[in-house]
Chains A and B, each alone.
Chain A
């Protein structure tokens, strides 16, 4: 199993709908989880971070963490064309205290 796994996409979502991005990780002891957005040709930009099981909401974004099932997800409500980007999941691996990035999911919001 890859350490941090994301579906590469592209994930196409109609404007105004909810986009759901998923990420699974291998290290059950992982403590910190991050979502970054990366536009083409630009650097990653932090969207959300979550440390505890459950949901964390920030505006149109909600991060969901389930440590028992080893997945973290990002929900984007009321999707806008400007949300079209690659979304990177990053996990702090507990066993050797390093951070691993997934390869990203390309999201395309259809106008």
Chain B
């Protein structure tokens, strides 16, 4: 069982370019999340999905969009990347939503130049 996979592992992106970070889980968890982690700011929720077909905004959603077409996949798209989006991005999932424990993917390190 792989758990949660993320791709790519790392990426250097020119400002203004579009980028999709991929996240796939094989645990059949209902809820999925995207976080960014920045030094001194900790983990901050970008978007979440409680179940396939629904999404919601987290603490820092601006500049990002998500979709949840099925249970397993939860891609995060940066429509037009800016340097402030340089960060480490973690995808996570939980079985029953925000009140249950979350399991994290290995992360994607994104640098926007």
Contacts and interface: CB of A to CB of B under 8 A. Distances in A.
A49 B100 CA distance: 9
Contacts of A102: 42
Closest 9 CB pairs of A and B: A103-B42, A43-B104, A101-B43, A32-B99, A49-B101, A44-B104, A92-B99, A43-B107, A46-B101
Where chain A touches its partner, the secondary structure class is strand
A44 B90 CA distance: 9
Given A44-B90, A88-B43, A103-B42, A97 B102 contact: no
B41 interface: yes
Where chain B touches its partner, the secondary structure class is loop
B27 interface: no
Given A44-B90, A102-B42, A92 B98 contact: yes
B61 interface: no
